Structure 1
Amino acid sequence: MSAVLRNNVRLLGPENAAAPAIVFAHGFGCDQNMWRFVAPRFAGQHRVVLFDHVGAGGSDLKAFDPQRYSTLGGYADDLLELLHELDLHGVVFVGHSVAAMMGLLAANAEPDRFSGLVLVGPSPRYIDDEGYYGGFSANEIDELLESLDSNYLGWSSAMAPVIMGNADRPELGEELTNSFCRTDPAIARQFAEVTFRSDNRADLGKVSVPTLILQCSEDVIAPREVGAYCNANIPGSTLVVLDATGHCPNLSAPEETFAAISGFLRTG
């Protein structure tokens, strides 16, 4: 199947833009709609590519292969297939949350396809390890996955507002809850397993393209220590700590997110 159809690709902006194309990727339990306040603003000068990971949004659910998507590498392969099919080179990839590592893996595999990476709330490993703080103990991740198994909708209602943060704006947490609840529970469970048990620390040092790390000032999923770790281990990377709080600045602070990405495009 065409990768464009499989991943529900949507294209904005001029087809032959002189500026590099920008590819936006969403995180766990979300879809391309999470970029609606940021991505269209780049469409005046850039070709903008939006898509849904297989199993999310308007993607082809029949294309979900548990073996292919048993690691983040399967999603990175999807991204590369998209770039090949669209004949795109030198793109700027903007990945939110777990999608940040997908883009990083793809850029390491085919660096000529990328001119830059923007990693929004990235984490190379969520579980604490000796000499490394990821934000969660192994037991906490076990409990999280067990609660997903027992009551996915209940877990979504409880966790989405925590992940979103910004308790003074409950509509944001409600939107993320609804997004989680639209995801097939079996697919979401596997995606969560792959996400929260991944360890991409060894891949950080292989990055060869300019990289911007966007870190929220308070984020329960990707704490500031994790952003600092990424910055210290991705060669030549730049870390920007946003005033935004929570794990989804693309929704909670789109102006600040847009400004940070724009600054990177001007200097990168």
Structure 2
Amino acid sequence: MDALARNNVSVTGPADAQPLLFVHGFGCDQNMWRYVAPAFTADYRVVTFDLMGAGGSDLSDYDPERYSTLQGYAEDVLAVCEALDLQDVVFVGHSVAAMIGVRAVTTAPERFAAMVMVSPSPRYIDDDGYVGGFSEQDIHELLDSLDSNYLGWSSAMAPVIMGNEDRPELGQELTASFCRTDPEIARKFARVTFLSDSRDDLPAVSVPTLVLQCTNDVIAPVQVGEFVRDAVPHATLTMLEATGHCPNLSAPRETVAAIEPFLRTQAPTRR
């Protein structure tokens, strides 16, 4: 199937400008970038799309084996790049999409100029000398709860993930997004997400990388952002004042303001 149709690809901005490829996280869709991506359409070719199982993606093309690892989603990223003939791409990934981006960039480094990782985590489970934020028991209990009652899990967890208790509408939006995602695919993607370990892949990232880290993020604590910064050879870490796990929704202006200088200095436009 055509990659542009399969993943409901949207393209805005000048056709001859440098591409910015925005990829959303678990339980979300490209709509989660609606406050960030438009800020770049004057100077960049902005590409957004839906990961398989989310938004307007074509569920008839879902292959459980292909999407049993993050590499399957990375192959979709590369298929979109190929379909649009994108070069010098700046990959902007939120949450697990940052690690999908790591796989895409290390698989086809010639296509990419830079990366922006928003609230990334290469491993959610604590390990010897590594703080991921969760014990192994925590993650398995989370996945068991998700398996038994996905909608109930979404209603309970989305506001916690979003944070910003003083702005309940944000948690409500994330809950609605979770509930729109195909439940069966979401269950499988959750296991791929929360049981993955991308730590060994980080040193192979060869492009300049910006890590955006929120304060008080229950999904990706500060130690995780610091780990990613230290593991990626050409990475810088910017701490945001934003709290929670989704600054693209809760603090889009601050997110844009952090990305813009990185693009100017590390991935200048070709126009």
> What is the TM-score with the length of structure 2 in the denominator?
0.97
Q: Following the alignment from structure 2 to structure 1, what is the Cα–Cα distance between the partners of residues 133 and 152?
A: 23
Partner of 2:153: 155
Q: What is the SS of the residue equivalent to 2:204?
A: coil
Unpaired runs of at least 5, structure 2 = 267-271
Q: Following the alignment from structure 2 to structure 1, what is the Cα–Cα distance between the partners of residues 226 and 233?
A: 13
Deviation at 1:59, TM superposition (A): 0.3
CA offsets 1:54-104 (integer angstroms, 9 cap, x no match):
110000011111100000000000000110110011110000000000011
Residue 176 (1) aligns with residue 174 (2): yes
Q: What is the SS of the residue equivalent to 2:90?
A: strand
Residue 8 (1) aligns with residue 32 (2): no
> Which residue identity lines up with residue 247 of structure 2 in the other structure?
P
Q: What is the SS of the residue equivalent to 1:155?
A: helix
Deviation at 1:16, TM superposition (A): 1.4
After TM superposition, the structure 1 = structure 2 runs for residues 1-268 of structure 1, keeping only pairs within 5 Å, are 1-17=1-17, 20-268=18-266
Q: Following the alignment from structure 2 to structure 1, what is the Cα–Cα distance between the partners of residues 62 and 142?
A: 23
CA offsets 1:210-263 (integer angstroms, 9 cap, x no match):
000000011000000000000111002000000000000000000000011101
> Which residue identity lines up with residue 88 of structure 1 in the other structure?
L
Q: Following the alignment from structure 2 to structure 1, what is the Cα–Cα distance between the partners of residues 154 and 107?
A: 34
Deviation at 1:163, TM superposition (A): 0.1
> Which residue identity lines up with residue 263 of structure 2 in the other structure?
L
> What is the TM-score with the length of structure 1 in the denominator?
0.98
Q: Following the alignment from structure 2 to structure 1, what is the Cα–Cα distance between the partners of residues 251 and 61?
A: 33
CA offsets 1:157-201 (integer angstroms, 9 cap, x no match):
000000000000000000000000011111110000000000000
CA offsets 1:101-142 (integer angstroms, 9 cap, x no match):
001111011111000000000000001111111000000011
> Which residue identity lines up with residue 233 of structure 1 in the other structure?
A
Unpaired runs of at least 5, structure 1 = none
Deviation at 1:53, TM superposition (A): 0.3
> Which residue identity lines up with residue 5 of structure 1 in the other structure?
A
Deviation at 1:150, TM superposition (A): 1.1
Q: Following the alignment from structure 1 to structure 2, what is the Cα–Cα distance between the partners of residues 63 and 247?
A: 30
CA-based RMSD of the aligned residues comes to 0.5
Q: Following the alignment from structure 1 to structure 2, what is the Cα–Cα distance between the partners of residues 264 and 212?
A: 7
Partner of 2:269: none
Q: Following the alignment from structure 1 to structure 2, what is the Cα–Cα distance between the partners of residues 153 and 88?
A: 37
Q: What is the SS of the residue equivalent to 1:216?
A: strand
Q: What is the SS of the residue equivalent to 1:205?
A: helix
> Which residue identity lines up with residue 240 of structure 1 in the other structure?
T
Q: Following the alignment from structure 2 to structure 1, what is the Cα–Cα distance between the partners of residues 256 and 108?
A: 26
Q: Following the alignment from structure 2 to structure 1, what is the Cα–Cα distance between the partners of residues 75 and 182?
A: 22
Q: Following the alignment from structure 1 to structure 2, what is the Cα–Cα distance between the partners of residues 97 and 236?
A: 19
Paired residues in the alignment total: 266
Q: What is the SS of the residue equivalent to 1:95?
A: strand
